[in-house]
Structures are given as C-alpha cells and as structure tokens.
Amino acid sequence: MLEGFGKGFANLVKKLVTGTTVDKTAVEEVLKDMKRILMESDVNIQLTDKIIEEINKKCLKEDVPSGLTLREHVLKVIYEELVKMLGEKPAELLGKKRLMVVGLFGSGKTTTVGKLARYFMKQGLKPALVGLDYYRPAATQQIQQLGKQLGVSVYVDEKSRDPYTVAQTALTKYANYDIIIFDTSGRNALDKDLAEELKRLSEIVKPDEVLLVLPADLGKIVEKQAEEFHKLAGVTGVIITKMDGTAKAGGALAAANVTGAKVKFIGTGEKLEDFELYNPGRFVSRLLGLGDLETLLEKAKEADIKKESVERIAEGKFTLQDFMEQIESLNKMGPLQQIMGMIPGVGMMKIPEDMLKKQEEKMKTYKVVIQSMRKDERENPDIISAARIARIAKGSGKTENDVRDLLSQYNQTKKVMRSLGGMKGLQRGEFKKLSQQFGFKL
C-alpha cells in the first residue's frame, strides 16, 4: 500500500539495522536518503528541512541517551519525528451521531460512506445512509447499491431530488438509529455553488462531525483544499483515501496534519474493507518495516481467526485442516502483501511483488487440494501415499505436483515454526527489545 514512501523508509531502516557500524558518516548518509524520500513523496520542503534539522540535532549534536547505542537512538528519533509529522492519534467517533461527508468530485466520498457504515456495524452499531447528491446523475443508484450490499437502510428521494428536504426528512426517519451518515455531492472545485449547498445542509443537519475526504494522490495540495473546506464547512476531521498506489501518500498525510485537521481514517483500496482507523504510531512503524502487530491482530479478529488454530500453527502442531482454515482467514484479511507488511521484521525483507502474487495463486490451489482430501488425511498428512496423491489430484482437478507441493509447504512451515519455538520464541527475540524501546507492546 505504501509505494515509494514505505519502500524507501523500509530500505533506509534496513540499512541502518544491518550496517556494520553506525557512526557520524552513516547518520549523515541516512539523513540524505531521508530527505530524498520525503521530497519524492511530496512532503513540503520547509517541513522536510525542519525534520532533517531536528534529527540531525538530536542524533549528532546531542548525547546519545545512556542504555542506547547510536543505531538504536537514530531509529528511535526517526520514528518519533515521522510520527510527529504524520499527526496525533485522533479521537474515536464514539457517540457521534450525525456525520456529514464532504469533498470534491471523485475523491471517494460515497465509497467512504459505505466503508464508515461497515466500520460502525463491526462495532455493533446501527447506521443509516442518506444520499444528498442530486448533482451527479447516477449518485442515488450508487449509494442504494452500497446499502444493499451492506444491508443498511438508505434514504434518497428520486422525485424531489432536493437535498434539503431529503436531509430534513432523514433526520426524523432515522432518529432511532445510532448513526446517520450523509453523503454530499462534489464539484471540480469548492466553488460558490458547493459552498452554499454545504452551508445550507450544515444548518439543517447540524452535523456532529464534518468529514472531509481527500485523495492521497493529491500530495501536498491537500493542504490548500483542507484549509478552504475548513473555512467554509467547519471540517472536524479528514479521511485520506486512495493511500494504495501513490507515492504521494506521505505528502498528503503530512499536509493534512499541518492544517491542524486530524486525519481520522485512511482508505487503502476500492473494497469496503480497505479502510482503517488512522493511528500515526502504528502507521510509521509499518512504514519503517517494523510491522504493525496491533492492526494485524485486529484484522485477524475481524476475519474471525480462531486463536487455538493460530497457536497450534505457531507451536508447529497443526493439521492440514488448520492450514486450510488459515488460508481462508488470510484471504479474508486482505492481500498478502498488506498482511506481510504488518508482521514485524517481514516488512523489512521486501518480498518481491510477483512472488507474493504467485503465493496467493498457490494458496488457492492448496485450498482446492485440501478440500479433496479425506478427513483422516487432513488430520494426519503422513498417511498420504503416492496412490492417495494420485487420487487427490484427480479429485481436485489439480496435478500430482500441486499435491506434493502442498505437502512439502506444509512440512516446511511446520519445521520453521518448531525451530522458532512457537509464539513465545517469536516474542523473545531481538525484535522485542527494539520494539519496547519504541514503546510498542508485544
């Protein structure tokens, strides 16, 4: 998800962690790299210079705190400065009832409205959606379609096509709902028309939150848009969409932070589940290739991964049935690349994209193969003889090589997990020490 920005930083940290010595020259080198990455990701120049200056001061002019090596200290300072640049942890939207989503054409408002509804439903709340966009012709169909997909009530009025009466009616109609999310129309710019419309709608809706949607690919221009909208529509929070597939995401986040508007959520893809609460600390840790266990565990919970099954795998005592359940859950959690980036240490390894794609394909094959096995074979793969391999291949429509490949992958995983010493081993290592210095709980 983090294109240039993330890759650049992960490489920089890797260099820092694996370099033989870290001295003044090495730190200067890191700062040079860092400046380049920040510029390339469209972070504004004054801010870039300020950050570099700050790191320079803390790492080279001041004493290294006792108990830390220069290497650890530099990492820690980089982490802290990036978190500062990317904002504070926003307050949750708990207890907020009327949310109005605003932004320019195609910024991702309507998609975000659906993502927000899904997010609140996951928390056991009952949201309703209101379509206030009568400017773009097919807008009402789009939001109705979203509502259908989510099983959420949607109110639009095709006859009147008047956003003001629709807003008014919806307030009464959905008075008993936990949250009402209003989707407004966009324009090419925040012109007089749009400003007037948003002002009138605000007066009717009296929103608890006005959420401005800004696409990450705008980079630092985000700052200007955020300021304009804030002046006219009283923005209380920002949602940055399209974080996937742009090198400018860092610039957009930094620019939004400069305006003082808090980024509350980020959108990381077109699907409704590609959405997360923004947490700068976690975000930067992922950015630096240090992983993000908290988000990973949340995603795992969402995908309903059974704890026992994870533990059996970690202990190296799992069956093919567990293996299949993991494949299914993993699929629910999102693209492999995104998940890998959240695992501490793995983000740093930089696994080639096509390798991950291949692995995703393979997992699909494995699932079909396991489904063609008998129960005793899944529980105890050791009994799978050549004759059984032939039968399973035929039954699944896959080749005998696919079956062998699965068995060898299964055995290999088991071996690796055993050698790591299970969950406890994973938590014991060097990484834990480093993470604790960063204030992460592991």
Q: Which residues bind ligand GTP (CB under 6 A)?
A: 103, 105-111, 133, 136, 139, 186, 241-242, 244-245, 267-270, 274
C-beta closer to Mg ion: residue 240 or 296: 240
Q: Residue with CB nearest Mg ion?
A: 110
Residue-wise over 145-165: b if at least 16 C-beta within 10 A, else e? ebbeebebbbbbbeeeeebee
Residue 103 binding target from Mg ion, ligand GTP, none, CB below 5 to 8 Å by type: ligand GTP
Instruction: Choose the contact partner of 242 out of ligand GTP, Mg ion, none; CB within 5 to 8 A by kind.
Output: ligand GTP
Residue 108 binds which entry of Mg ion, ligand GTP, none, with Cβ cut-offs from 5 to 8 Å by kind?
ligand GTP
Residue among 53, 401, 405, 110 nearest 241 (CA): 110
H or E element, residue 172:
helix 163-173
From the list ligand GTP, Mg ion, none, pick the one residue 326 interacts with, judged by a Cβ distance below 5 to 8 Å according to partner type. none
- Minimum Å gap between C-beta 397 and ligand GTP is 34
Residues 87-146 that bind Mg ion (CB under 5 A): 109-110
* Length, in residues, of the chain: 442
Query: Which of Mg ion, ligand GTP, none does residue 223 bind (CB under 5 to 8 Å by kind)?
Result: none
Q: Which is nearer to ligand GTP, 31 or 101 (CB)?
A: 101
Q: Which two tokens stand for residue 41?
A: 């990701």
If the CB atoms of residues 267 and 344 are measured against ligand GTP, the closer one turns out to be: 267
First to last CA, the chain: 24
Q: Which is nearer to Mg ion, 131 or 291 (CB)?
A: 131
| Residue 398 partner contact from ligand GTP, Mg ion, none using kind-dependent CB cut-offs of 5 to 8 Å | none
Closest CA to 210 of 239, 187, 190: 239
The neighbouring-strand residues paired with 276 are 266
Whichever of 207 and 381 has its CB closer to ligand GTP, that residue is 207
Burial zone of 35 (CB within 10 Å; 0-12 exposed, 13-18 middle, 19+ buried): middle
Structure token pair of residue 387: 């004759």
Residue 41 gets the label, from left (phi > 0), alpha (psi -120 to 50) or beta, of alpha
Q: Which does 408 bind (CB under 5 to 8 A by kind): Mg ion, ligand GTP, none?
A: none
Q: Tell me how far apart the alpha carbons of residues 242 and 49 are, in angstroms, rounded to a whole number.
A: 27
Q: What is the DSSP letter of 217?
A: G
Residue 39 C-beta: closest distance to ligand GTP, Å: 24
Shortest reach from residue 271's CB to ligand GTP, in Å: 9
Give the shortest CB-228-to-ligand GTP separation in angstroms.
16
Q: Which of the choices ligand GTP, Mg ion, none does residue 269 contact, using the CB cut-off of 5 to 8 A by kind?
A: ligand GTP
Pick the closer one to Mg ion by CB: 84 or 187.
187
Q: Which residues of 77-108 are buried (b: 16+ CB within 10 A; e: fewer)?
A: bbbbbbbebbbeebeebeebbbbbbbbbeebb
Whose Cβ is closer to ligand GTP: residue 146's or residue 369's?
A: 146
Neighbour order of strands in the sheet with 179-183: 154-155, 127-131, 179-183, 98-102, 209-215, 237-241, 263-267, 275-277
Minimum distance, C-beta of residue 141 to ligand GTP, in the bound complex (Å): 11
Q: Which is nearer to ligand GTP, 283 or 366 (CB)?
A: 283
Q: Cβ atoms within 10 A of the Cβ of 408, count?
A: 10
Q: In angstroms, what is the minimal distance from the CB of 196 to ligand GTP?
A: 17
CB of 110 to Mg ion, least distance (A): 3
Site for Mg ion, rule CB under 5 A? 109-110
